[in-house]
Structure 1
Amino acid sequence: MLYLASGDSLMSLAFSYRLGHSTVVNSVHMVYAAIESKMMEEFLPSPTEDMWTEVARGFWRKWNFPNCLGAIDGKHVTIQAPARSGSQYYNYKKTFSIVLLAVVDHEYRFRAIQVGDFGRMSDGGVFSASNLGKGLERGDLNVPSSAPLPGAPEIGPLPHVLVGDAAFPLKTYLLRLSRARMVVECAFGILTARWRIMLRDINLHPNHVNTLVVAATILHNYLLAPSENQRYIDEAEERGLCLPQALNIGGRRAARQAYENRRAYTTFFNSPAGTHPPVPLFK
């Protein structure tokens, strides 16, 4: 996770942990591939009608926008130019990148993503060629049927829609509006601030970058679901999958008894016996 969160290079991490560069590289790839394979089903599942309905209710409740399936946008994840790739990854910002196309709900969680398109492609082009765009065009993505707008039954039922910016085509299922669309910009901002590797040119093969970005979005959703987090941790502890508490880290190593003493004091101060009434400021 340090590679994602810190933005340090793999070489820097190898020096920090006194490990071989190839060992660190292989470990990073294995961890992010495991996150994608083990956590995708729970934290970034395939859309269902119930999911779309939940998102639409959330947009109405929080953003005063009815029948909204989510906000959609694309983000360029910058990479170092792959060998012999020509201009495929070269984008309009004059950098090399892959595209993360994402649909975000009212709580800044990613609900549908597509990762790995060439940076030279526009957001609208990526959407049109994506499984999401094709599925919406065919009408086979479990989208709820049209519904009347709250408080305006005279208008009649209207279809559920995504909201995007001017880079996307105007469709019966896609509107170009600003206010509700801002949640996807905020989600990208949170993703980048949390996983600072997104702020640098990632020096990995594009296939590995794809896996890294998918893992980052899954972990983003995981951190925005505190109740799910605790359940995940509890299950891991029950199955004995959690690492033991790390002791004696750092240059000045304390004796084990010192850690035990600190733990005992912590237990005392958190108990009724250790609770002290506040000291008055003035006598």
Structure 2
Amino acid sequence: MSSSKSVAVVTGSNKGIGYAIVRGLCKQFQGDVILTARNEANGQEALKKLNAEGLKPVFHQLDITDDTSIQRMRDFLQKNYGGLDVLVNNAAIAYKMAATEPFSEQAEVSMATNFWGTLNACNVLFPLLRPHARVVHVSSRAGSMTAAKCSKELQTRFLDPELSMAKIKQLMNEFVESAKAGTHKAKGWHESAYGTSKIGVTLMTFVQQRELSADSRPDIVVNACCPGYVATDMTSHKGTKTIDEGADTPLFLAMLPPNTTSPKGQFVAERKVQNML
């Protein structure tokens, strides 16, 4: 039986920044907060730790690279809540500097999770967004830094005023195909699989907001953000911020008040709107 109870979902939230976002939402958001993880045991362990703090998130398994898993998440939300109010797309992977996997593999795997997984989750879950919903893509300044090192021709395509989701998909596919062929540098790409995947995440934000602004559901706001350099497994705990400090901007965007006009369809760091390039 569905209810109109408010609900927030955070992808990849059993540890790191995602975990801190769940913790923050449990304290600020009026409704249920769903902690997700690919691995059920890891998710349940995270749940126990938050329960020990007196917080009561709900766990649901979610692997954004698995279409069936995303559909199960959608069906659970539909059945139990009848909609979705906050979606924080945090799940992502990054290869270490010392990674030995060939760059072609790093490009394909990074893109499959960070860009395609995020986009697929949006495509399945966006129909559930209620009026005044907030969507946050945890992107990275690595995307902007990588874009700045790409060719002028690619930068022109990134900043295309008529950018569409089809054009973004084409760009991300071109990167992976050129990485497989060993021609990515010759074609103007910078050698960062993670950074390029985050270019895609930030660009998708601009297009999604344009599409949702034309939707019949009012005041749905989508933003991308950089949480900063955070001490997590992804940074080998070399980051200068705690996970709670990293969660600050994503939480700020998730809790934007009704009828916010800015930030809206933008890239944000330290709570301030940033340029893509």
- With structure 1 as the length reference, what TM-score do the two structures score? 0.23
- With structure 2 as the length reference, what TM-score do the two structures score? 0.23
Larger radius of gyration: 1
